[in-house]
A and B are shown apart, each in its own frame.
Chain A
């Protein structure tokens, strides 16, 4: 009986809050009790120092390390902004809890963690600086394109002439009269 009353009250509260925003939006505040409590889940952007300290504790980071994403309405809330380094860069020889991900249990995950796994984006330091690589590639590609363009404009082929046939341009083979003398065709000069 009490459960029914509770359910009815929740319905009433949800309907009042929703007021035409849709069926699913009416129950956004309602969650199952099986998962973590509300204070262990990400929340809105922290404004006061106490909120910052609580958020740092929640994410298992020191207060100096914990920096939320800038509050520009993009939807990050209080999720920490970690350095953009892929899992490729982590020590391969350390005994991680999850060796494939190179991550320890409970460690705060980067927002783009699924991009930075070892099958995907790699931000490791490169053999030479970006500018050198960029200029080398563009220089080579540009040079090849330029040369192909020049080749189109000024083509150069082997010299070719029409095919020359013997026996007076094959007079008999091409159906010429055997009695009649063919015109003399000379395809050479000595």
Chain B
């Protein structure tokens, strides 16, 4: 395993990360142990519910609930700042005027050509 070379299209698995072997500092180890404890606790909760023979309902995932809630409740955390105002103007206000101008000039030009009789319909399926 020492000469493991990961596929160019995948990241190296965490257990084969050299930092895991050569990083002996107690702080790193303690952080890793905390993370492992959290993960193990979640695993335990899930396995208890999964293998409970008396369970009839779906196992609800609070992380999923929180994700859905966060994605749906963006507005309460919205605050008008320079960035948000700029984005709002750029995506909401500017396209209205720009598109109006573009379409108007294009159509006026086409109308002129049709009136003058110079409009080229060679490859047009519709008018």
* Contacts from A to B (Cβ < 8 Å): 28, 35-36, 40-42, 44-45, 58-62, 64-65, 72-77, 79, 85, 88-89, 91-94, 97, 104-109, 111, 113, 124-127
- Chain A residues near B67 (CB, 8 Å)? 109, 111, 113
B76 on interface, CB distance cutoff 8 Å: yes
B interface, by DSSP: helix, strand, loop or mixed?
helix
Report how many residues on chain B are interfacial, defined by Cβ distance under 8 Å: 37
Name the contact of B42 in the complex, choosing from A35, A91, A106 (C-beta under 8 A). A106
With A62-B34, A73-B78, A97-B46 as given contacts, are A107 and B63 in contact (CB-CB < 8 Å)? yes
* Contacts from B to A (Cβ < 8 Å): 8-11, 13-14, 31, 34-35, 38-39, 42-43, 45-46, 59, 61-67, 69-71, 73-81, 83-84
Name the contact of B71 in the complex, choosing from A44, A60, A111 (C-beta under 8 A). A111
Chain A nearest Cβ from B45, distance in angstroms: 7
CB <8 Å contact, B14 and A127: no
With A74-B83, A76-B70 as given contacts, are A64 and B78 in contact (CB-CB < 8 Å)? no
Name the contact of A40 in the complex, choosing from B34, B62, B77 (C-beta under 8 A). B62
